[in-house]
């Protein structure tokens, strides 16, 4: 019996298997609004047979976008555009769909990766960024404006408003983005948070604003909608955020009603020294999993079905998230089901695609 294809739950949300499609930025929105690209991109992934699809990092305000092409959910226009995409997908896909809400902080106002990814000047369509402290990501970047306490309250409200919009358009899960060097991660790490008030200094203080944002979202949406958090377990920089602090943060989140922890790493500092290899982030997920009683999602160069199955069997994680691997092969769950002797859902229109010898691997997506 494959663990990867066994049912599980995140909060009150039931999943038919433990394959999660991680949020992946597409840099293809227009003024924050979803476009036909999102209909194509999310549509094919929604038919993949995965247990859960999480929509890419979605900005809670315009200046929170990584790039001008980032998806947003901050006003009626962005809400309507995403609602239209979801309406079409829902006609044919039955898997739960979540969304990752975030703010890029000092890493905002950048070009798309295929355009170099550098910070954009105002003349290039860029904008003033904000952060816990007035420290730029790169030395050559413009310094962000330090967020005042009043601005923090406004930002918290932006997260609340976006969460309510997500629920209104039928999103079934919310993931708070506190990873990859973006705003909430910037509060957590001592490398980027140099504040002298109650939001800086000690670990308790650095966790304060991310925990306030989480709690505000948890209080604002129905109990039936699980709220989880993605974190970077380590900055991969000496003296930065590390897995011991991540464990403390995860335990505080669990106490606040967090449904799951999604464990990634890095992204906060250009000085990071990352040791990359197959499943390289799973040890962090395993260490966190030992210290909390909520599900942990593992991610990071997990590309093969047997590798994903082994990670679950060895209790490295409770669910497995796929990112680039599922972009390269949007039918990854189908192939995994065939390899592991399990079944995956597929549209009725595609059931005849099964190769000879694998009949019965795919079941109707109803």
Residue 49's domain is classified under what CATH number?
3.20.20.70
Residue 3 lies in a domain: no
* Residue-range definition of the domain harbouring residue 58: 8-364
Residue 2 lies in a domain: no
Distance CA 291, CA 54 (A): 25
Residue 124 lies in a domain: yes
At a CB cut-off of 8 Å and minimum separation 6, what does 355 contact? Answer: none
Task: Supply the pLDDT for residue 137.
Answer: 96
Supply the pTM of this predicted model: 0.97
Distance CA 214, CA 337 (A): 35
What is the largest distance, in Å, between two alpha-carbon atoms of the chain?
Answer: 66
Please state the φ and ψ torsions of residue 269, each to the nearest 5 degrees: -135, 140
- Catalytically annotated residues: 182
Residue 75 lies in a domain: yes
Q: Do β-strands 8-10 and 13-15 pair in parallel, antiparallel, or remain unpaired?
A: antiparallel
Candidates 270, 321, 328, 271; CA nearest to 297 is 321
DSSP 319: E
Residue 215 lies in a domain: yes
Residue 1 lies in a domain: no
Residue 343 lies in a domain: yes
**Per DSSP, which regions of the chain are E strands?**
8-10, 13-15, 19-21, 52-59, 97-102, 130-131, 145-146, 173-178, 227-232, 261-264, 296-298, 319-322, 344-346, 362-364
Structurally, the chain folds into a number of domains equal to: 1
Tens digits of pLDDT across the chain (366 residues): 899 999 999 999 999 999 999 999 999 999 999 999 999 999 999 999 999 999 999 999 999 999 999 999 999 999 999 999 999 999 999 999 999 999 999 999 999 999 999 999 999 999 999 999 999 999 899 999 999 999 999 999 999 999 999 999 999 999 999 999 999 999 999 999 999 999 999 999 999 999 999 999 999 999 999 999 999 999 999 999 999 999 999 999 999 999 999 999 999 999 999 989 999 999 999 999 999 999 999 999 999 999 999 999 999 999 999 999 999 999 999 999 999 999 999 999 999 999 988 888 999 987
Distance CA 361, CA 351 (A): 9
Residue 337 lies in a domain: yes
């Amino acid at each position: 019996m494959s663990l990867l294809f066994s049912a599980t739950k995140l909060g009150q949300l039931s999943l038919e298997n433990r394959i999660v499609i991680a949020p992946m930025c597409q840099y293809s929105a227009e003024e924050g609004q979803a476009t036909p690209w999102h209909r194509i991109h999310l549509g094919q992934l929604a038919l993949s047979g995965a247990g859960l699809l999480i929509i890419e990092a979605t900005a809670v305000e315009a200046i929170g976008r990584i790039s001008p092409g980032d998806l947003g959910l901050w006003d009626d226009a962005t809400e309507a555009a995403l609602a239209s995409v979801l309406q079409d997908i829902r006609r044919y896909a039955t898997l739960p769909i979540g969304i990752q809400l975030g703010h890029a902080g000092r890493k905002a106002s950048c070009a798309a990766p295929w355009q170099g990814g550098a910070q954009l000047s105002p003349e290039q369509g860029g904008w003033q960024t904000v952060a816990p402290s007035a420290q730029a990501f790169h030395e050559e970047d413009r310094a962000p404006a330090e967020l005042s306490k009043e601005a923090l309250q406004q930002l918290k409200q932006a997260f609340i408003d976006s969460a309510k919009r997500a629920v209104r358009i039928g999103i079934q899960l919310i993931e708070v983005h506190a990873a990859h060097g973006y705003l909430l991660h910037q509060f957590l790490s001592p490398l980027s948070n140099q504040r002298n008030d109650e939001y800086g200094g000690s670990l308790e203080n650095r966790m304060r604003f991310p925990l306030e944002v989480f709690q505000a979202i948890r209080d604002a949406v129905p109990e039936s909608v699980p709220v989880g958090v993605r974190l970077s377990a380590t900055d991969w920089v000496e003296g930065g955020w590390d897995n011991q602090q991540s464990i403390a943060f995860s335990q505080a989140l669990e106490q606040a009603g967090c449904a799951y922890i999604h464990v990634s790493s890095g992204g906060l500092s250009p000085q990071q020294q990352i040791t990359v290899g197959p499943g390289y982030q799973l040890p962090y997920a395993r260490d966190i999993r030992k210290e909390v009683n909520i599900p942990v999602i593992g991610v990071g160069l997990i590309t093969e079905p047997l590798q994903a199955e082994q990670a679950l069997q060895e209790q490295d994680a409770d669910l497995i998230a796929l990112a680039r691997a599922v972009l390269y092969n949007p039918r990854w769950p189908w192939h995994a089901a065939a390899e592991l002797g399990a079944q995956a859902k597929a549209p009725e229109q595609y059931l005849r695609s099964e190769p000879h010898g694998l009949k019965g691997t795919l079941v109707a997506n109803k």
